[in-house]
Amino acid sequence: MKMNNILVTGLLAIMLIACAPLKKEYATFAEYPVREEDLTEMEYTAAATKFALWSPTADEVRLMLFDSGHEGHAYQTVPMELSEDGTWRVTVNRNLLGKFYTFNAKIKDKWQGDTPGINAHAVGVNGKRAAIIDMRATDPKGWEADNRPTLKSPADIIIYEMHHRDFSVHGSSGMKYKGKFLALTERGTKSSDSLSTTGIDHLVELGVTHVHLLPSFDFASVDETRLKDKKYNWGYDPMNYNVPEGSYATDPFTPSTRIREFKKMVQALHKAGIRVILDVVYNHTYSAAESGFERTAPGYFYRQKPNGELANGSGCGNETASERPMMRKFMIESVLYWMNEYHVDGFRFDLMGIHDLETMNEIRRAVDAVDPSVFIYGEGWAAEAPQLPADSLAMKANVKRMPDIAAFSDELRDGLRGPFDKNSKGAFLAGVPGNEESIKFGIVGAVQHPQVRYHLVNYSKVPWAKEPTQMISYVSCHDDMCLVDRLRASVPGITPEQLVKLDKLAQTAVFTSQGIPFILAGEEMMRNKKGVHNSFESPDSINAIDWRLKAIHSDVFAYYKGLIALRKAHPAFRMGSAELVRKYLEFLPVEGTNLIAFRLKGHANGDAFEDIIVILNANAQLAKVAVPEGKYTVLCKDGMINLAGGLGATYGPEMYVGAQSALIIGK
């Protein structure tokens, strides 16, 4: 009898071992299991909190529980158990609200180190530990009724790119929450000279439809415990992708504060009729070795060179592997999380060219299933050649294979102001001939047009957009000299009067193009950054917007505002269809260089005017252009715009255009 009991016990033990999931060995990353359910790593209820971590090659995984988000040691270590799909799980059956946690995986006999995981939704100060909170308690009053402002077509989008700190930190901003998310909730703010509106009211006055926020997720370079140090960074150094950055919160130590304040910001912008675009940096992490990706599945989330070293398409030391199923799954779920939890309305992908086409298209499809009006665009290039074939990447040249995803046009940008890599070299705005076709490329929205001679276009010898809404039209952005500095550097002997003229001329090309116009915050008041090309960690004295410039350059602000109003008033400038662009947009013949004229004819796209003619003259002399005969209303001339009654009447068949200026007329 005793022997039988021993036998039964042994058999039971064998059966339990046989039924328990066993860690598998994988020869390649392609063999790694893919987690079928979503990548949630913590689910809180008052009765119990469930934890899950995908770490398919781990020998052991421990959950560490803490009382503090940054101090002290774990008060409890809880072993996790391997279940299906390479996921480790454990449930703690008590109320953990307000506690913090990390995971630690043992892989190949080495503990990888504490990590909040890859999908933390709340963290303590500096993001080293994830936080256990009730997300619904972070919703501001009325959050459930928050809705995206109406957007009839992507062709109607006007983007304003801003950095939280730049926008509000200057002493002249009149905003209380300087450098914080909450600065974009304040209404009725005025500049220190009391002459100008600032903040949200300024954005409404200007007329933009979308604000593009530079990275606002939790990034690594700013120490959130020492904000008085005023350490500055743009934020292209990701740490926790699904948590707002703590340095932009009024209290980075309390996990719920940054979440609630980000939501308040979105809610306030929505109430003002402005949509919110989030700059996302899925192409690399701040550190590979210390990232949650590497500490849970070493090597899997990053691409490697043939010699085994980390690939570096980002120029930041690593590049992520979007083509691997779990990285792709992570990116899709992250985008949807920002849409659903934070009501974000669009995404700008940093170095989008590092990602594979399939992943970007799957993201677009997932977004469309929730709200097709959410806008997606990115940089159609990489810092170095990524470790995938060029025809499989989300590069600018492959935009036609990414429906409803847009890319920046450096053809138009550099055709206007000169190449990115040489600040002193000018182009069209500097009176340098040979850039006209590059600008025409941008005017038609990077689509096929019979009058553009593509062999003369810089960078792209063929059109890369299927529709004009796939092209972002711009002349400068955060990561280069701002327009004022570039003009000073590239136009020898430029006078203050010429600077204003050329600034206005540049943006006229941007806002009358068929692409989607994009401006850098502060350009509407002639912001400068003291000539700094790459101000990613320059101090406030370089980056902050001085709001007193708005009154000093009130004519420039009025011109930008007028360009936006002109674009909104005339659907001919935003046809949104390559077929319509080819049908209704016609370039007019001109004599000489640095002169471009085009006609939007036949009540293009239902416009009230039968014809609209735009002439861009970058020459230092008056220019003459032949136009169809007729009586025209002058909408824009010599740096002034008037839509209400126009600037007077003029008659064809010849038009004279002032030096370094634009003329826009309609009949």
Query: Which candidate, 296, 321, 319, 353, places its Cα nearest to that of 86?
Result: 296
Distance CA 157, CA 14 (A): 65
Buried b (16+ CB within 10 A) or exposed e, 313-343: bbebebbbbbbbbbbbbbbbebbbbbbebbb
The owner of tokens 């009067």 is 497
Q: Using CA of residue 342, residue 347, residue 351, residue 355, what is the dihedral sign?
A: positive
The owner of tokens 């570096």 is 312
Residues contacting residue 492 through CB under 8 Å, at least 6 positions apart:
none
HSE, CB side, 13 Å, CA atoms: give it for residue 100: 25
Q: Which amino acid is at 468?
A: P
Token pair for 204: 């409404």
Q: Which amino acid is at 526?
A: M
Q: What stretch of H or E contains 42?
A: strand 42-44
Burial class for 248, CB neighbours closer than 10 Å (0-12, 13-18, 19+) = buried
Query: Which candidate, 329, 331, 330, 339, places its Cα nearest to that of 373?
Result: 339
Residues annotated as catalytic (active site), given as ranges: 350, 379
Helix axes 325-342, 255-271, angle to 10 degrees: 70
CB atoms within 10 A of CB 534: 12
Peptide bond into 306 cis (omega under 30): no
Buried b (16+ CB within 10 A) or exposed e, 103-123: bbbebeeeebebbbbbbbbbb
SS3 54: strand
Q: Which amino acid is at 140?
A: P
Query: Which candidate, 364, 346, 367, places its Cα nearest to that of 355?
Result: 364
Distance CA 443, CA 641 (A): 20
Query: Which candidate, 617, 585, 451, 464, places its Cα nearest to that of 514?
Result: 585
Q: Under a CB-based contact definition with an 8 Å cutoff, are residues 350 and 380 in contact? A: no
Give the DSSP letter of residue 573. G
Distance CA 130, CA 102 (A): 6
Burial class for 236, CB neighbours closer than 10 Å (0-12, 13-18, 19+) = buried
Query: Which candidate, 469, 461, 494, places its Cα nearest to that of 400?
Result: 469
The end-to-end CA distance of the chain, in Å, is 107
The owner of tokens 């209704």 is 584
Burial class for 15, CB neighbours closer than 10 Å (0-12, 13-18, 19+) = exposed
Residues contacting residue 532 through CB under 8 Å, at least 6 positions apart:
481, 485, 538, 542
